[in-house]
Structure 1
């Protein structure tokens, strides 16, 4: 069997799946119109817009069930690529919160570029254990509640197993019952040991098990970011791989 979707077959065979939350036709039209406007906005650089074809933001956020009136939490927003899309979509009817690694977004808020974003001041601190590439969080607390949808894009690989558990627990606490958690990250071969070429990749089956372990139900996965010519052998920053990494796209629900 080709390596091309062993992990996906495992997902189908091992985990119960359901339908992703679907917005009504009217809500879908509003989401589409607002997101298209955000994608065309001058707030985004040419470099950011150039990534749209690869990252497929509309299809990805639609899969995660984003609706314009939701309370959304984005974790580790980094440079704000997704924040610049989420904020305009939610500005009128919903709310956007960002937490962990928010320095760049905080600056954009203070400059008035993203005035409608709520930067959450977390409790706890980043810690990188000696000899580790990844971070953990000591005494993490994300003080926000009643969230409809939590999202993180290509960030879990930067955390230790303990760090991921802490983040997943805080997401579970922040979400309302029935709320959803969407995760995207670079794919690693199933059960492959950690080494220098794959440390920024994650085994999707391991991710599912870790997130289920804190109380979530696995809902569905998407092949939106499946890349058959990524052999899963090389560091995601290599020139031969960057922009074409195979990424898993997973959706979970808080009971």
Structure 2
């Protein structure tokens, strides 16, 4: 039986639309790192909502600051809904390798609401990667859920380890140092740990004020150095001077969460996303192993 002409035309149009991203992606290999990242940051397969956050999260400048190159082995910690994964995966797809370390997906029936939430988010990202292999490529995935699941693979394997707005959660549970030590272990000597984190207001050399979700920059640096890292550089790429950091629900009052609902919504939208530190640490070429210790 012959298929109707309209059905055949629709199938051809669908196939063509799938090929267009591949043809465009092939052409990006001739571009500079900056232009490649810009291409994926504004890619048609990214949602309008995700692309709207580029103005606050500055992905191109941030990844260039962390010196992420297409041939690198990169580990992204807790990618959540894949905001950065959407840029990193195709950027690394042909020459390098992206590995994502996210929450356990086997906790969909857990008693804890938070565990169920993150298990569901991780599952959704995994399913999306499987459904769009032509875009994401062969992304490796593993579970990272300290303290039970802390192991991130082979020692000295990655060129870059990247964490975006996660450190406050590890610190809340007393696991920041252990996490930093594991990042140090799996990085190659000379490898970079890139961290973006909500930044607290500094009020003295020994104290800081922070609402929910904010961390002190000096404290993050101290913990990283205790784990063996050296601070290579810091940047104001993701700074937001409009963020007063004294909101009722901390960073969650601001976009994209807007935890206060309709209360002061326009004010929080006008502020934008949180003020953030952007820190670049290096694992020294020559280092001595440090035993795990109590968090400072």
TM range (shorter): 0.7 to 0.9
Cα pair 2:188 2:283 within 8 Å, conserved: yes
* Structure showing the higher helix proportion among its residues: 2
Match of 1:236 in 2: 251
CA RMSD of aligned residues (A): 2.1
- Name the SS for the 1:151 alignment partner: strand
Question: Aligned runs of 1:1-255 on 2, under 5 Å?
Answer: 29-101=31-103, 102-113=122-133, 114-122=136-144, 126=145, 137-138=147-148, 140-145=150-155, 146-159=157-170, 160=172, 162-190=174-202, 191-192=207-208, 198-234=211-247, 235-238=250-253, 239=265, 240-241=267-268, 243-255=272-284
TM score, norm. by length of structure 2: 0.67
Q: Distance in 2 between matches of 1:205 and 1:88?
A: 34
CA contact (8 A) 1:34 1:88 kept: no
Q: Distance in 2 between matches of 1:78 and 1:244?
A: 17
Q: What is the number of equivalent residue pairs in this alignment?
A: 214
Q: With structure 1 as the length reference, what TM-score do the two structures score?
A: 0.77
Name whichever structure is richer in strand by fraction. Answer: 1
Q: CA deviation at 1:37?
A: 2.1
Classify the secondary structure of the residue corresponding to 1:97: strand
Q: Which has the higher contact order (CA 8 A, sep 6+)?
A: 1
The CA deviation string for residues 167-201 of structure 1, in whole angstroms up to 9 with x for no partner, is 1111111100000000001111232356xxx1200
Q: CA deviation at 1:225?
A: 1.4
Structure-2 change in CA distance of 1:212 and 1:225 (3 Å): same
Where does structure 1 differ by over 4 angstroms across 4 or more consecutive aligned residues?
none
